[in-house]
Structure 1
C-alpha cells in the first residue's frame, strides 16, 4: 500500500510515498540531476518532457507537466493556482495511488511536486517504470498484435471501467504491454473516479479506436477489426456481462 506524505519546500510542496523513500530531494525533479548521475540513465521525449532513469530506489519516470496545442505556445508549463490538492501532480499521484492499491495495473507513484509562483504553479510527477514496456501504438504499427493480446487489452479496460476509473486521454500510446505480456494504463493526468456508466465507457473505447486510426494502425494491419478490435470488444463486454450476472456492485 502506498503511504502518502507531504514534504514542504521553500516554493511549494512534495507529495511522496513514504514506503519507497523517507524524504525527497528537489534535485530529483531535475533532468540534469539524473543525466549527471553515474547510477542513472536518461531518455527524453514527448510533450511532457519524460525522463527515464535508474536510481537506488528503483527505475523511475519523471514527467514535467506541459501544455499542448496552441495554448502551449503561449504558456508552456504554468497552471492556475486553485489549491494544493488540485495541482496536476498531486491529483494524478492521488488517483494512481488509489488505483494501484485497488490492484489495477498503473505505474506506482513515487513523488509529485508543485512550485508556486503567485497565482500560477508548475508541476512534476515521478512514477515507477514498467519493465519491458511497449505501447500498443508501437506494437500495432509493427504488426505485433493478435486476438489474444486484444482480449487482454479488453479485459484490462473493463477492469478499470467497472471500478469507475475514467482515463481522460485513452489512446494507443497510453496502453502499454510489459515484458510479461501484461497490460497497463499510463498517464492519468486529468483522470478521475466516476460512477460506471456505458456512455463514458463507450466514449473511452471510441477514443482508443480513433487513436489507432490516427497513427495508421488500422490501415497497416490487414483485417484489423476482425483480428484485433472485435476480440477486444468481445473480451471487454464479457467481463461486464460476467460481473452483471454475479450481481457485483461497482
Structure 2
C-alpha cells in the first residue's frame, strides 16, 4: 500500500509515495540533476521520451508529459490547469497506485509533479522500472510473437478489464515482457470505469491495429488465423474466470 504524501513545490506540488522515498524535491524531476550525481542511465527524446535514473527508491523511469499529433506544435507540453487533483501526473500516479493495490502488474508509482504557469501547467511522473523487460513490439520485430505469448497477452488485458481498468492507448509498445511476466505501462488518461462490452472490444481493436501496424501480419496468415484468435480466446476465458 502506498503512503501518499503531498508537498508544495515552486508553482505547484509534488505527490509521492513516502513508503518508497522519505522525501522528494524538484531535483528528482531534473535529468540534469541526476546526471550530476552520475545517476542518469539513459535519456531519450520525443513524445515518448524518458530518462532512466537511479533513485533512492530504486531504478526508475522519469517521464515528462508531452502532447502528440498536430496540437503538439501549438501547445507542446502545456496543459490547462483545472485543479491539483486533475493534473495528468496526479491522476496517473493515483491510478497506478490503485491498480498495484489490486494486484495488477503495473510499474509502481514513486512521485508525480506539476508546475503551474498562469492557467497552464507542465507535469512529470516517476515510476519504478520493470527490470530486464522488452516491449511486445520488440518481440514482434524479433519474430518471437508466438501463440503462447499471444494467449498471455490476452490474459493480461482481461485481468485489467475485469477490474474496469481502461487504458487510453493500448498498444504493443505499452506491454512489457520479462522473465517474471507481462506488464501494462503508460496509463496517462486511463481510468477506472464499469466494464462493458463496448469499450472492452474497442480496447482490443486498438491493440490489434497496433500489432498490424508494426508488422505482425508480415509472416503470412499466421496472425489472423492463429495468433489473434488465440489472444481473443484467452482474453474471453480469463475475463469470464
Same fold (TM over 0.5): yes
- The reply to whether residue 62 of structure 1 matches residue 62 of structure 2 is yes
Alignment-derived partner of residue 116 in structure 2: 116
Q: Would you say the 8 A contact 1:146–1:227 is kept in 2?
A: no
Counterpart residue number, 1:87: 87
Quote how far apart the aligned CAs of 1:45 are. 3.6
Measured in 1, the distance between the counterparts of 2:219 and 2:126 equals 34
CA distance in 2, matches of 1:194, 1:151: 24
What is the distance in 2 between the residues matched to 1:221 and 1:33? 49
Question: Which has the higher mean CA deviation after the structures are superposed, 110-119 or 32-41?
Answer: 32-41
CA distance in 2, matches of 1:239, 1:38: 44
Match of residue 185 from structure 1: 184
Measured in 1, the distance between the counterparts of 2:27 and 2:39 equals 15
Q: Tell me, what secondary structure is at the counterpart of 2:21?
A: coil
Whether contact under 8 Å (1:140, 1:221) holds in the other structure is: no
How far did 1:222 drift?
A: 5.5
Question: Counterpart of 2:168?
Answer: 168
Match of residue 197 from structure 1 = 196
Q: Are the counterparts in 1 of residues 155 and 238 from structure 2 also a CA contact under 8 Å? A: yes
| Cα distance in 2 between the residues matched to 1:222 and 1:108 | 38
3-state secondary structure, aligned to 1:201: helix
SS across alignment from 1:69:
coil
8 Å CA contact 2:14, 2:25 repeated in 1: no
The answer on whether the counterparts of 2:40 and 2:51 sit within 8 Å (CA) in structure 1 is no
- CA-to-partner distance for each residue in 1:169-213, whole Å, 9 max, x for gaps? 101101111233x11101000000000111100000000000111
TM-score, structure 2 normalization: 0.96
The equivalent of 2:236 in structure 1 is 237
- Give the secondary structure class of the aligned counterpart of 2:76: coil
Displacement of 1:49: 2.7
**2:62–2:126 contact (8 Å) kept in structure 1:** yes
Asked whether the equivalents of residues 41 and 52 of structure 1 are also in contact (C-alpha less than 8 Å), the reply is yes
Deviation at 1:240, TM superposition (A): 2.3
| Offset of residue 140 of structure 1 | 0.6
d(CA) in 1 for partners of 2:46 and 2:141?
A: 18
Pairwise CA RMSD: 1.3
Distance 1:36 1:137 in 2: 33
Distance 1:115 1:237 in 2: 42
- Unaligned segments of structure 1, at least 5 residues: 243-250
Question: Which residue does 1:17 correspond to in 2?
Answer: 17
Q: CA deviation at 1:46?
A: 4.0
Which residue is equivalent to 2:223? 224
State the Cα deviation string for residues 137-190 of structure 1 (Å, max 9, x = none). Answer: 11011101211111111111101001100000101101111233x111010000
Distance 2:192 2:176 in 1: 21
1:147 is matched with 147
Contact 2:106 2:185 (C-alpha < 8 Å) held by counterparts = yes
Q: Look up the SS of the partner of 2:14 in the other structure.
A: strand
How do 1:70-81 residues align onto structure 2 when only pairs under 5 Å count?
70-81=70-81
CA displacement at 1:220 relative to structure 2: 4.2
Residue in structure 2 matched with residue 158 of structure 1 by the alignment: 158
| Number of corresponding residues | 241
